[in-house]
A and B are shown apart, each in its own frame.
Chain A
Amino acid sequence: MSVAQAIAQNSTPLLEMRGISKSFPGVKALDSVDIALYPGTVTALIGENGAGKSTLVKILTGIYQPDGGEIIVEGEPVHFASAEAAIRNGITAIHQETVLFDELSVAENIFLGHAPRNRLGLINWGGMNARAAALLTSIDAPVSPYMRLKDLSIAQRHLVAIARALSVEARVVIMDEPTAALSYKEVEDLFRIIERLKRQGKAILFISHKFDEVYQIAERFAVFRDGRSIGAGLLAQTSQDEIVRMMVGRSVDHVFPKFDVAIGNTVLKVSGYSHPTEFNDISFELRRGEILGLYGLVGAGRSEFCQSLFGITHPSAGSLELEGRLIEIRSPADAVAAGIVYVPEERSRHGVVLQMPIFQNFTMATLGRTTRAGFLREAEEFALARRYAERLDLRAAALSVPVGTLSGGNQQKVVIGKWLAARPKVIILDEPTKGIDIGSKAAVHAFMSELAGEGLSVLMVSSELPEVLGMSDRVLVMREGRMAGIWKREELDAETLVRAATGNP
């Protein structure tokens, strides 16, 4: 409570947005929303995918211009005509997928666009590297300013992005799902940095789908739903259930909707699957109606293994039996024909074609169903897309708008719908709820259960323990490319899985 009291005393916002509205063709993304950020305080912005969080961030950073409303910094109304103007006003953002430059050094990445210069107007390399080193030290980043960015891990890149954000004398720091790609320990490190920023009096806007993180790091919250402000206040005075209710407009059961499904015969039998570098000797059986969780640390070779089942990469040894028949999968087309489909982890890179219309994405993998002799039949395409859009409760302005206009959760629905249209026997879901809000998450989980109930076999790669424990009939754990074991649902507990995945006795 002491933090909350401190905030109550210091109640002048550093930055305020009042009555902000923004429309896109067919969608009202923001409808007169308000939010206030206070110095030395973390404000969590909470909302489902499509609630308008990203639009708000883009307005705050000068990328979008609002249709109405005002932004007030320290009592003065301001107008951000460009991203540069926002930076000049001390507003800086660390985005979900940070844009950095692989071939440049860490220092160059940090100071790109505002490098210190010498008397001749040339870049002051010594000064730049020294300042970069100081910034990196100030956030305890174990990174040298001289390293090439491409040699860094994802977590290290994140630290560089934070250093970059701090290099511009920021007063307001926006963090858009900063923990999405980080491990548990890396999240702890990030939170230490955030605490330090708080002490320096910076106002922080923290966007995350993870409630435990929000409660751990933030003092204030603001909830958006369907482009409107629903509620705001102090987290210490608000329960998680209340916030969830504000988010979805109804209560969501936190229990994972895993139904009991009659497990049938073996559908897929994998024997001794190996790859020269990524995985070795993977064997298991997947049954009808079963959800098999695939757990492991990032880099354990889970995605690579799944992609070999789907024909993207090729195994060096091992065999595959589908319903008792030996099959060989040389390409994704082979896999689809056999009835194995794959929902990839990197949705916008591998899952959807962002520029193409929703209905064309739905039919992309199964054009044979809506064509005759190779000729497209648009009416049938719309009908097929509509069927799956309705089944998955897709939220879109029209079926002919580009998939890129949808929120992440709705894009994932398109990917899943695309594969359901292929009438698969086995569906591989690679981190199916990564970066998706709690409402869509529950919907995806319920849907997964429903599919298993219809007799589909599900192979679910996940790094989230609650999801693995809640949804799986059995769990296969991979460690450094090898199988660490398979556990049945009744034998499962978090400790066992983490020990198996990390190799700690």
Chain B
Amino acid sequence: MSTLAAEKRPPRHIPDKLSTPAGRLLGSWETLLAAVAIAIFTANSLASPHFLDPWNLSDATYNFTEKAMIAFAMTLLIISGEIDLSVAAIIALASTAMGAAAQAGFQTPALVGIGLSVGLLCGAFNGLLVARFGLPSIVVTIGTMSLFRGIAQIVLGDQAYGGYPSSFAWFGQGYMSDFPWWPTIPGFEVVTFEMVAFVVFALLFGILLHRTTFGRWIYAIGNNAFAAQFSGIPVQRTKFILFLLTGLMSGVAAVCLTSRLGSTRHTIAVGWELEAITMAVLGGVSILGGSGSIPGVVLAAIVMGLVTFGLGLLNVPGIIMSIFIGLLLIVVIALPIVVRRIRSRTPA
């Protein structure tokens, strides 16, 4: 019988990859973002003499560190095809809970525990509604966005919680040189606790997304949830964990932000959900799910931080800043698409 399989020709060679690592890097979104970051950095240092001051730069990192922590978790969630619009409301609720606990005399470790627990609980609630009951996440989290912040508003009204223990200020105001075990490298005494946390979380989320089975599942689910399910991937459990993780990171951001501000109002972190999503999308995460990277989001966070800080130094009002960020988002997203269109129009 002369079937194809029976003929047993030598197997065809298929290469692993088509392009070289350098070629892939050159054409990547991350490279483009890095170029934008360098351009803005240069423009800022030319525009304002105060920009390159190390203490100024160190303070500038507060513009993005807390939001980026949420954006990392949001990135995973968006790649999986879901979204969480309630993150800023979770911050408000967690911060309110910490404020109430501080009034009741709880000390720093307990406050941190409460902040993180509230974040986890809120995330579990979102995750339960989406993963267990199959509701669309955009609807669920629009609802919980009002719910969580609504509770904070009922508790606080027009009042504010303050009176946090002085050791609580570490998280949002501390420099690493305050820590006895931080190595005394000249020039690095200006590094903030939050900046270190940003780097650590970037590494953790980068490893989780790009180097683990769980991360691979996230991509598979975001690209084709059916095929993922038909491959034995626990789709709903993965989504639940991602909501939990997003809630937890909102709790972390709540600790840092509350610590930095030293007080809690019900309007804390208003609008941050959109900034976190903007960071993710600017970082190359497809809003439709399925693609994106943590290095891209890290660069996007730095770009947004630099823009905000540079414009702040030039005394540009806040509203102009949001206009600028919005334009940046549109330009950076439209540019590669426009370039591709023009290229494909010219005959080969």
**A418 near B231: Cβ-Cβ < 8 Å:** yes
List residues of B (168-220) whose CB comes within 8 Å of A's CBs.
211-216, 219-220
Selected from B5, B17, B226, B234, the residue in CB contact (under 8 A) with A333 is B234
- Residues in chain A near residue B212, CB distance under 8 A: 371, 374-376
**B227 near A353: Cβ-Cβ < 8 Å:** yes
Instruction: Please indicate which of the listed interface residues B1, B220, B227 has the most CB atoms of chain A within 10 Å of its own CB.
Output: B227
- Residues in chain A near residue B214, CB distance under 8 A: 374
Does B103 sit within 8 A of A, measured CB to CB? no
Instruction: Give the distance in Å from the alpha carbon of A399 to the alpha carbon of B227 in the complex.
Output: 19
**B4 near A376: Cβ-Cβ < 8 Å:** no
Separation in Å of the B182 CB from the closest CB of chain A?
Answer: 29
**B227 near A335: Cβ-Cβ < 8 Å:** no
- Residues in chain A near residue B224, CB distance under 8 A: 349, 352-355
**B229 near A332: Cβ-Cβ < 8 Å:** yes
Mark A381-398 against chain B: 1 for CB-CB distance below 8 A, else 0. Answer: 010001001110111111
**A257 near B18: Cβ-Cβ < 8 Å:** no
Our count of residue pairs bridging A and B at CB distance below 8 angstroms stands at 136
- Residues in chain B near residue A272, CB distance under 8 A: none
The 29 listed contacts between A and B (C-beta, < 8 Å) are A251-B2, A253-B3, A331-B232, A331-B234, A336-B232, A351-B230, A353-B220, A354-B223, A355-B223, A355-B224, A355-B290, A356-B220, A360-B216, A364-B231, A371-B212, A374-B213, A376-B212, A382-B16, A386-B14, A393-B5, A393-B11, A393-B12, A396-B14, A399-B16, A401-B18, A418-B231, A442-B5, A443-B5, A447-B5
Does A67 sit within 8 A of B, measured CB to CB? yes
Instruction: Give the distance in Å from the alpha carbon of A120 to the alpha carbon of B14 in the complex.
Output: 60
Given A375-B212, A446-B3; A332-B18 close (CB under 8 Å): no
- Residues in chain A near residue B7, CB distance under 8 A: 250
**B227 near A253: Cβ-Cβ < 8 Å:** no
Instruction: Give the distance in Å from the alpha carbon of A447 to the alpha carbon of B216 in the complex.
Output: 29
**A342 near B230: Cβ-Cβ < 8 Å:** yes
Does B233 sit within 8 A of A, measured CB to CB? yes
Query: Which partner residue on chain A sits nearest B234 by CB separation?
Result: A333
List residues of A (93-112) whose CB comes within 8 Å of B's CBs.
none
Does B259 sit within 8 A of A, measured CB to CB? no
Instruction: Give the distance in Å from the alpha carbon of A393 to the alpha carbon of B4 in the complex.
Output: 10
**B5 near A375: Cβ-Cβ < 8 Å:** no
Mark B1-42 against chain A: 1 for CB-CB distance below 8 A, else 0. Answer: 111111100011011111000000000000000000000000
Selected from A257, A335, A401, the residue in CB contact (under 8 A) with B3 is A257
- Residues in chain B near residue A394, CB distance under 8 A: 12, 14
| Interface residue tally on A, bucketed by range | 35 or more
- Residues in chain A near residue B233, CB distance under 8 A: 332-333, 364-365
Does A50 sit within 8 A of B, measured CB to CB? no
Query: Which partner residue on chain A sits nearest B15 by CB separation?
Result: A398
**B230 near A350: Cβ-Cβ < 8 Å:** yes
Selected from A248, A367, A397, A446, the residue in CB contact (under 8 A) with B5 is A446
Separation in Å of the B211 CB from the closest CB of chain A?
Answer: 6
Instruction: Give the distance in Å from the alpha carbon of A250 to the alpha carbon of B215 in the complex.
Output: 45
Separation in Å of the B12 CB from the closest CB of chain A?
Answer: 7
Separation in Å of the B149 CB from the closest CB of chain A?
Answer: 35
**A255 near B228: Cβ-Cβ < 8 Å:** no
List residues of A (106-124) whose CB comes within 8 Å of B's CBs.
none
Mark A333-355 against chain B: 1 for CB-CB distance below 8 A, else 0. Answer: 10110000010100001111111
Selected from B2, B226, B290, the residue in CB contact (under 8 A) with A253 is B2
- Residues in chain B near residue A386, CB distance under 8 A: 14, 16
Instruction: Give the distance in Å from the alpha carbon of A450 to the alpha carbon of B5 in the complex.
Output: 9
Does A252 sit within 8 A of B, measured CB to CB? yes
Instruction: Give the distance in Å from the alpha carbon of A312 to the alpha carbon of B7 in the complex.
Output: 38
- Residues in chain A near residue B137, CB distance under 8 A: none
Instruction: Give the distance in Å from the alpha carbon of A360 to the alpha carbon of B215 in the complex.
Output: 12
Separation in Å of the B290 CB from the closest CB of chain A?
Answer: 6
Instruction: Give the distance in Å from the alpha carbon of A250 to the alpha carbon of B226 in the complex.
Output: 38
Does A25 sit within 8 A of B, measured CB to CB? yes
**A439 near B227: Cβ-Cβ < 8 Å:** no
| Interface residue tally on B, bucketed by range | 35 or more
Instruction: Please indicate which of the listed interface residues A335, A374, A382 has the most CB atoms of chain B within 10 Å of its own CB.
Output: A374
Does B141 sit within 8 A of A, measured CB to CB? no
**B226 near A349: Cβ-Cβ < 8 Å:** yes
Separation in Å of the A451 CB from the closest CB of chain B?
Answer: 11
Instruction: Please indicate which of the listed interface residues A353, A391, A445 has the most CB atoms of chain B within 10 Å of its own CB.
Output: A353
Given A67-B348, A371-B213, A398-B17; A353-B228 close (CB under 8 Å): yes
Instruction: Give the distance in Å from the alpha carbon of A397 to the alpha carbon of B16 in the complex.
Output: 9
Query: Which partner residue on chain B sits nearest A367 by CB separation?
Result: B213
Additional A-B contacts beyond A332-B229, A393-B4, A396-B14 (19; CB < 8 A): A25-B18, A250-B7, A312-B229, A331-B232, A349-B224, A349-B227, A353-B220, A354-B224, A359-B16, A364-B227, A367-B216, A368-B213, A371-B213, A390-B12, A400-B18, A401-B18, A418-B231, A443-B4, A446-B3
Does B291 sit within 8 A of A, measured CB to CB? yes
Separation in Å of the A19 CB from the closest CB of chain B?
Answer: 15
**B227 near A375: Cβ-Cβ < 8 Å:** no
- Residues in chain B near residue A335, CB distance under 8 A: 232
Given A375-B211, A401-B18; A257-B231 close (CB under 8 Å): no
Given A393-B12, A439-B4; A398-B18 close (CB under 8 Å): yes
Q: Which 4 pairs show the lowest CB-CB distances between chains A and B?
A: A446-B5, A390-B11, A332-B232, A365-B231
- Residues in chain B near residue A364, CB distance under 8 A: 216, 220, 227-228, 231, 233
Instruction: Give the distance in Å from the alpha carbon of A397 to the alpha carbon of B219 in the complex.
Output: 22
Instruction: Give the distance in Å from the alpha carbon of A257 to the alpha carbon of B7 in the complex.
Output: 13
**A252 near B3: Cβ-Cβ < 8 Å:** yes
**A332 near B5: Cβ-Cβ < 8 Å:** no
Selected from A344, A359, A367, A439, the residue in CB contact (under 8 A) with B230 is A344
Query: Which partner residue on chain B sits nearest A370 by CB separation?
Result: B213
- Residues in chain A near residue B231, CB distance under 8 A: 332, 364-365, 418
Query: Which partner residue on chain A sits nearest B13 by CB separation?
Result: A390
Separation in Å of the A281 CB from the closest CB of chain B?
Answer: 26
Separation in Å of the A178 CB from the closest CB of chain B?
Answer: 25
Does A276 sit within 8 A of B, measured CB to CB? no
Does A142 sit within 8 A of B, measured CB to CB? no
- Residues in chain B near residue A447, CB distance under 8 A: 5
Selected from B6, B15, B213, B348, the residue in CB contact (under 8 A) with A376 is B213
Instruction: Give the distance in Å from the alpha carbon of A215 to the alpha carbon of B291 in the complex.
Output: 46
Given A367-B216, A375-B211, A398-B18; A353-B6 close (CB under 8 Å): no
Separation in Å of the A390 CB from the closest CB of chain B?
Answer: 4
Instruction: Give the distance in Å from the alpha carbon of A36 to the alpha carbon of B228 in the complex.
Output: 43
Instruction: Give the distance in Å from the alpha carbon of A330 to the alpha carbon of B326 in the complex.
Output: 47
